[in-house]
Amino acid sequence: MTLYDYFRSSAAYRVRIALNLKGLSYTSHPVSLVDKAQQSPAYQAINPSQLVPTLETEQGYLSQSLAIIEYLDECYPETALLPSDPWQKAQCRELALSIACDIHPVNNLRILNYLTQELGVSQEDKLTWYHHWLQQGLAALEARVAARQANQPSTFCCGDTPSLADICLVPQLYNARRFELDLSPYPTLVRIDAACQKLASFAQAHPDNTPQ
């Protein structure tokens, strides 16, 4: 499989982790967002949304990181990335979507560029925007995960094996650190992130280990 990838994209980073957890080999094809390679006609033919990632499978091209990961989980059920119980699964998706819908899209590169280039927002106000949505989202996530851990302690967000929720958490905290957010209010999330980082599947997917 070929992954149309960008080393610093949270969404692409999620898919790299999932592919590694499944033990699936893939080729990373860099699409440089800073060079606007995602806007090229060739890439638009693959992904009209002009976003990364896109996974080229035997069936065709698929975009949207969570759709890709759920697809991989169905086709390659070994090392399940979602709990099998419907309620546990729903709670795992809830955590993942609270990152993928409530935090990540608002702080995407295209949004930050629009703020500064189209609306003339200062670098300082852009950083305040970034931290604001991140803090709101992470505070809610910490509250949810800490409450669940109080009832049933576990190594990762949804049990003792990594799941879709952890796959979304780790790239989000990577970006939070890049933008120098103080993570001390989120001790449960930081502890789970550290447990993930110890796994080769997560470490190998890190932006520092990804072709640019």
Which residues of the chain form contacts with a copy of itself (CB under 8 A)?
A: 48-51, 59-60, 62-64, 66-68, 70-71, 74-75, 86-87, 89-91, 93-94, 97-98, 100-102, 104-106, 111, 114-115, 118-119, 121, 125, 128-129, 132, 136-137, 139-140, 143-144
Q: Which two tokens stand for residue 28?
A: 């990373």
Closest approach of a copy of itself to the CB of residue 42, in Å: 15
Closest approach of a copy of itself to the CB of residue 77, in Å: 11
Distance between CA 84 and CA 65 in Å, rounded?
20
Single-letter code of the amino acid located at 172? Q
The torsion region of residue 64 among left (phi > 0), alpha (psi -120 to 50) and beta comes to left
DSSP for 188-212, please give it.
Answer: HHHHHHHHHHTSHHHHTTSGGGS--
* DSSP at 39: G
Single-letter code of the amino acid located at 105? P
Closest approach of a copy of itself to the CB of residue 3, in Å: 15
Closest approach of a copy of itself to the CB of residue 110, in Å: 9
Name which of 90 and 194 has its Cβ closer to a copy of itself: 90
Name which of 179 and 209 has its Cβ closer to a copy of itself: 179
Closest approach of a copy of itself to the CB of residue 54, in Å: 10
Name which of 113 and 199 has its Cβ closer to a copy of itself: 113
Of the chain, the end-to-end C-alpha distance in Å amounts to 18
* DSSP at 103: T
Name which of 91 and 154 has its Cβ closer to a copy of itself: 91
Closest approach of a copy of itself to the CB of residue 118, in Å: 8
Q: Which two tokens stand for residue 8?
A: 């610093």
Contacts of 35 by beta carbon, 8 Å cutoff, 6+ apart: none
Name which of 122 and 197 has its Cβ closer to a copy of itself: 122
Name which of 2 and 199 has its Cβ closer to a copy of itself: 2
Distance between CA 176 and CA 132 in Å, rounded?
11
